[in-house]
Structure 1
Amino acid sequence: MKKLFVLNGGAAVKPGNKSAFLKIDDPLSTFARGGINTGDVLVYDAMLKALAYDQITNVQFAHAADEKLWPTDDYDATVIRGSNYLTETVDIGNVIPLLKKLKGPIVPVGVGAQAAKYKKLEMPKGSIEAWKIIADKCETIGVRGVYSAEVFNDIGIKNIRIIGCPSFYRNLRPSIEIKPLDPANARVGLTLNKYLSADYASNATKTNRMQRALIEAVAKRPANRLYSQGEREETLAIFETGEAKQKHIRSILGKYNLEGDKDVEALMSERMQAFFDVDEWAADARDNVDVLVGFRLHGNVIGLHQGIPAVFFTYDSRIRELSTLFAIPSVEIEDYMPINLEKIFESADFSKVQHVYRLNYAEYHRFLTENGLNHVLAKPVASPPEQPLVKPNLVKIDQTTEEVTDWFRGEVDFMTGEIETLRSRAWNLELKLREKTSPDAGAKLAS
C-alpha cells in the first residue's frame, strides 16, 4: 500500500483519492465566521488527480506543532501543497520539529513568493531554516515562477524547478487547446477579491477601482455570471434569502460604490454561484462560460485547464509571475485604463498559450518523476523549456481620446470626493478631540 502524507492540503478527500472538496453542511454558519479560499482546494484537488497513492493523510501548517497529529506510520512520501509560503510576514518555523521527524522525501509542489511588487524579500529566520531542511529532503522544490526561484536562490537554495501551479495541469493532459472566442457575444465568468492591499496589491486603489469598472462591464451582459471563490459576503448572499440576502448585496455594492446599479444588483442577486466541490465548480464553468476574467487566480485557472480562455488582471507578484510563465493575456492594473470587454477580448493573444503549456507540462512531469512521486501524468509531447518566460503577454488596447477622457474625468471626480470626505472626517475628529480637552475651544471652532 502506497501512503502519502500531505502538509497543508486544506480540504477533504473523496473516496479514490482523486478529488478534493470542502465538507460544509451549513454554509450560512460557516461563512458567518469568515471566508474560505476555495482556490487552495483547487490546488489540492489538482495534486490529488496527478498523484497515485492508496492512503492520504493531511495536517495543516497551523497545527503542525501538535505532536498528537503527527503521522505514526511510515509514509512513502510527503508533499507540501503549494501556496504563498515565501513572504516577509509568514514564519513557518513552527513546522521545523515535524520536518525533522518525517522520514522519506518531502516535496513542495508549487511554492510561491508573495509580495505586492518585485523586491528582495527579508524572510523570517524560522522560514529559512524550514526551507533548508525541506531542500535537503527532496531532489527539487517545485516553485511557481521566476520570482519565487529568485527568492529561494537568495537564501542559498538552488535545487528548484519552475513548474507553475499544479492547478494548471488538472486535466492531466500534456497539451490543451484554447477554445475560440467571440468577443461580442462571449458568456463571461467573473471573480472578485475585495480586500487586496499590502502584500497583495501593488496599488490597492487602482486595483479596487478597476474591479469596479470590470463589474460594471460584466453586469451589462445578461448571460454573464459571478463566481464567489470563498468570499464571505458573496457566499452569504448566495445562500441567504430575503432581507438578509439583500443586506449582503448592498454591502458588496457599497464596497465598489455601485449602489443603485440595477445591472450589477441583478448579477449578484440572480447569477452568482459558489461551489465547495471542485468537480462541480469545473463543470459549471465548462457549461456556462466562454471566457473568464477577474481578480482571483484560480477563478481563471478553473477554466484554463479545460481550454476556456481567460484574461488575468495582474496586481501582485503571484498573478504576474504565473500569467507570464504561461503566456496568458493580462491587463496590468498599474496601466489604470478604462475597461472595454469586447476590445480586451479582441486584443488578447492566446497564440502562445498552447505551446508554452506543453513545455511547462513537460517540466512538471520531470519534477514529479525525479522526486520519486507516484503519478499518472501522460508522457509529455514536448521537452521542458530551456528558459522560462519572463516577459508578460500584456493586452494592448487602442483607446479613443473620448474613452480615456471620460474614464479619468470620472476617476478624478471620485478621488476628489474621497479627499473631501477624509478632510471632513479629520476636521470632525479634531473638533471632538478639542472638545474633550477644552469644551469652550471646541464650541468656538464649530461656530
Structure 2
Amino acid sequence: MPAGKVVKGKGVVTHTFGSPQRATELFTNIGDCFVYDSSLRILDYAELYPIYGQSSGGLSEEQIEKINTLDYIFLRGSNYINTNGQWDEITSVLEKTKVPVMAFGIGVQVPDNSDEYVNDSTKRFLQLIADRSKTVGVRGALSRKALNSIGIKNVRIFGCPTAFRHCKPELKFPRLKADEIKNLGFTLRRKTHGFAMLQRYMLRTLSEKYRTEILCAGELEEKAIFYARSNLVENPKQVMEKAVNSLIKEKWLYGENDPLLDLYRSSLSVFETVSDFEAAECRQDAVTGFRLHGNLLALANEVPALYITYDTRTREFVKTLGIPHVDGRYIDRFSFEEAWDNADFGTFEKTYAERFKDLQKFLDENGMAHRLGQNPTPNLSKAA
C-alpha cells in the first residue's frame, strides 16, 4: 500500500497521523512518506488513484478496470531489488492490467560483496516492469548492475525523487565551517546494526557543542517517549516507563540516569507529516546522521547535510549524487568538525544538476508529465 496518505493542505502524512496513541503501537517509516510526497510534487497529474492491496492478496475486477483507464502505474522508490521479495500476487494482478508500469527510483538492498540480487519472485516482478516501461528508473550503479544481471538493460540512473522535490534544476549551499553551526539536526536510525555505539557517541558529543535536535523517523520507543513527554497519550507516565525500560533492555540506554535519556526528554522530535519534518530541518544550520531520506530532505531544501554511510544502499546513494559523507566502516577516531570542514558540497551541486537532467529524460521518455523546470505539458495524465 502507499507509504502514507494524502491530506489536503498537508501533503503526505503517516497512517497514524492525528492518533498519537496508535502511533506508539505502529512503526511508520516517515522516510517512505518523503519519497511518496516528493514523487507527487514532481509528477503532473489530474487524478491520483492509490492502490491498496486487499488482505486476500488481490485486487477486484472493478479496481483493475479502473487502473486500465489511467495513463500509468508508478512504484514509489524503495528497495524492490532484493532476494527476500515476494511479489507473485501483485505480479499476477499487474499482468491483468494494460497500462505502463514505471519504477520511479527503485534500488537494491543486499549484503556487502553479495552477487545475488533477486529471487525468482523478484525477478518476475522486475521483468514485468521492464517490459512495460521505456526505462526503469534506479537509485545508482549497483542497482543497474543488479538489473543487468537478470537481463534488464533499459535502465536509467537518477537517484531518488526526494532530492528533486522542489523541481529546481540547481541547488546552492551555504559554505559554513563547523564552528559556525549553531543548530544541528541529527537524523536517528537506532536500529542500524553495528552502529549503535557510534550514534550514541555522536549524539552525546554533538549535543555538547551544538543545539542538537534529534529527528526521529518512526521508531516506536522514541515516539512513545515524545508523545508521553507531550502528554498526548493515555497514562503518559506508564508509556514513558515502558519505552525507557525497552531501550535499557535493548542496551541503547545505560539505565535511567543515562545522559542520552535527558537528551531524549529535551531534544527528541517526532513527525507525522512530511511538511513538519521539512520545516524542522529548515530550522537547522546543518544536518547529519544515519537516515538516508532524512538527510536527503535537508539537502533538497539547501540545508547542508553530512551522511554517515553504513551499507550498500547508502554507499550507492551518496555515490550517485556526489553527497559529502563519512564511511562508517572505517571510523576509528572520529571528528565531526574535521569531517564537516572537509565536506565538498560543490561536487554535490554539480552532480545534482546532472541527475536532474537524467530524471527529466526518464520522465519524458516514459511519457510521465512532470513539473521539473519549464514544463508546458498540460495537467492531463492519470496515475496509480
The bucket for the TM-score relative to the shorter chain is 0.7 to 0.9
3-state SS of 1:113 partner: coil
User: Is 1:308 aligned to residue 303 of structure 2?
Assistant: yes
Whether the aligned pair in 2 keeps the contact of 1:210 and 1:339 (CA below 8 Å) is: no
1:304 offset after TM fit, Å?
0.4
Inter-partner Cα distance in structure 1 for 2:173 and 2:113: 30
Task: Choose from 132, 157, 163 the match for 2:158.
Answer: 163
Inter-partner Cα distance in structure 2 for 1:366 and 1:63: 37
Q: Which residue of 2 aligns with 1:373?
A: 368
Deviations 1:367-412 (A, max 9, x none): 01110011111059xxxxxxxxxxxxxxxxxxxxxxxxxxxxxxxx
Deviations 1:244-299 (A, max 9, x none): 32542454466335446664233210111111111121112102x11111111111
1:334 offset after TM fit, Å?
1.2
The one-letter code sitting in structure 1 at the alignment partner of 2:207 is A
Q: Which residue of 1 aligns with 2:261?
A: 265
User: Is 1:276 aligned to residue 269 of structure 2?
Assistant: no
Q: Which residue of 2 aligns with 1:441?
A: none
TM-score (norm: length of structure 1): 0.76
The one-letter code sitting in structure 1 at the alignment partner of 2:4 is A
Percent identity, aligned pairs only, is 27
3-state SS of 1:101 partner: coil
1:316 offset after TM fit, Å?
0.9
Q: Which residue of 2 aligns with 1:35?
A: 27
3-state SS of 1:323 partner: helix
Whether the aligned pair in 2 keeps the contact of 1:173 and 1:377 (CA below 8 Å) is: yes
**1:127-166 alignment to 2 at 5 Å?**
127-166=122-161
Inter-partner Cα distance in structure 2 for 1:224 and 1:246: 24
The one-letter code sitting in structure 2 at the alignment partner of 1:20 is V
Whether the aligned pair in 1 keeps the contact of 2:225 and 2:265 (CA below 8 Å) is: yes
User: Is 1:51 aligned to residue 51 of structure 2?
Assistant: no
3-state SS of 1:65 partner: coil
Taking CA–CA contacts closer than 8 Å with sequence separation of 6 or more, which of the two structures ends up with the larger relative contact order? 2
Q: Which residue of 2 aligns with 1:423?
A: none
**1:29-428 alignment to 2 at 5 Å?**
29-32=22-25, 34-60=26-52, 65-68=57-60, 70-73=63-66, 74-186=69-181, 187-196=183-192, 204-205=193-194, 207-221=195-209, 223-241=211-229, 243=237, 244-249=239-244, 251-252=246-247, 255-259=251-255, 263-287=259-283, 289-379=284-374
The number of equivalent residue pairs is: 362
Q: Per the alignment, do residues 230 and 114 of structure 1 end up closer, same or farther by CA in structure 2, a change over 3 Å counting? A: same
Inter-partner Cα distance in structure 1 for 2:190 and 2:252: 9
TM-score (norm: length of structure 2): 0.88
Which structure has the bigger radius of gyration? 1
The one-letter code sitting in structure 2 at the alignment partner of 1:378 is G
Runs of at least 5 residues in structure 2 that lack an aligned partner in the other structure: 230-235, 376-384
Whether the aligned pair in 1 keeps the contact of 2:108 and 2:117 (CA below 8 Å) is: no
Deviations 1:140-193 (A, max 9, x none): 000001000000000000001001011110111001011222302412111222
3-state SS of 1:270 partner: helix
Moved more, 186-195 or 317-326: 186-195
The one-letter code sitting in structure 2 at the alignment partner of 1:170 is R
Deviations 1:66-118 (A, max 9, x none): 22383432111111111011111122122111111122211110110002324
Whether the aligned pair in 2 keeps the contact of 1:64 and 1:95 (CA below 8 Å) is: no
Inter-partner Cα distance in structure 2 for 1:178 and 1:258: 38
3-state SS of 1:20 partner: strand
